[in-house]
Amino acid sequence: MKPAAFLLLTTFVFAFAQTPEEEGLRIARLLDEFNNGFVSEYAELEMTLINAHGDKTVRKMINEAREQKNDGDRSIASFLWPADVKGTRLLTWSRKDGDDDQWLYLPSLKRVKRISSRGKSGAFMGSEFSYEDLGSQEVEEYKHKFLEEKEMDGRKAWVLERIPVSRKSGYSKEIAFFDQEYMQPLRIEYFDRKGELLKIATFTDYKPYGKWFRVGHILMDNVQTRKKSTLVFSKRELGREFDSEHFSSDSLID
């Protein structure tokens, strides 16, 4: 190849090369597009809280979710057992623009409490999952940056840096590892507002539901407090029909 022609080709290739930020956004949109269209979901699961000494507290719950046109998903997490948390419900309206809306129903008080934007970094029901972790994590909620491709336990993954857009987020950044087949996370590292590693979430036991994959086990490990929480899914159903008023704050009250 003549030098002039080689230089022209090289210039052409670099002109269309993406920056890490552009590539990160492209992958984030690809993941989002793949996971659209499930319509709604019902799941039964068990939450286990593990303190620094290894003592465990087990809770049973259900989670229901529905997609929304031109906005984030809506979901309700409802506790079934034990008696001290039975009837507690969390309603989340994820937003593409602005902070998510969340309401917590406490049966002992017979009232619905709105979770403030600044309170979303707090622990959900004493677990290592924050209120912020329970939204649908829309693409628009983060600034994305592609870091690398990596193999994890024999699976190919994209590694993205995600910086929350909201100044009220409890995290300065996240490092997320997304499986290239499941199009779902394998691991997310959460960094606190000081930039120090706070928690690591590990996602395993994926199963197919039509074209989509859903996680079977989530471990949230707080590396600062040595506390852990797990979510283990025992039953899941996609496409279940819900009443139009099911995901309203009024529906939370018994």
- The pair phi, psi for residue 158, each rounded to 5°, is -90, 140
Cα end-to-end span (Å), the chain: 76
Report yes or no on 192 lying in a domain: yes
Please determine, for residue 8, whether its predicted confidence score (pLDDT) is greater than 50. no
pLDDT for residue 9: 44
The C-alpha atoms of residue 74 and residue 227 are separated, in whole angstroms, by 28
Percent composition of the chain: helix, strand, coil (DSSP 3-state, to 5): 20, 45, 35
Query: Which tens digits make up the pLDDT trace of 10-53?
Result: 444 444 558 999 999 999 999 999 999 999 999 999 999 999 99
Q: Which of 65, 67, 74 is nearest to 45 (CA)?
A: 65
- Number of structural domains (the chain) is 1
Please determine, for residue 180, whether its predicted confidence score (pLDDT) is greater than 50. yes
226 alpha-carbon distance from chain centroid: 21
- Give the residue numbers spanning the domain of 139: 20-252
Report yes or no on 140 lying in a domain: yes
pLDDT for residue 17: 59
Query: Percentage of the chain surpassing pLDDT 70?
Result: 93
pLDDT for residue 1: 46
Please determine, for residue 138, whether its predicted confidence score (pLDDT) is greater than 50. yes
Report yes or no on 205 lying in a domain: yes
Look up the CATH number of the domain holding residue 109. 2.50.20.10
Please determine, for residue 250, whether its predicted confidence score (pLDDT) is greater than 70. yes
pLDDT for residue 39: 95
pTM: predicted TM-score of the whole model, two decimal places: 0.91
Report yes or no on 162 lying in a domain: yes
Report yes or no on 6 lying in a domain: no
Q: Which of 113, 182, 111, 169 is nearest to 141 (CA)?
A: 169
Report yes or no on 7 lying in a domain: no
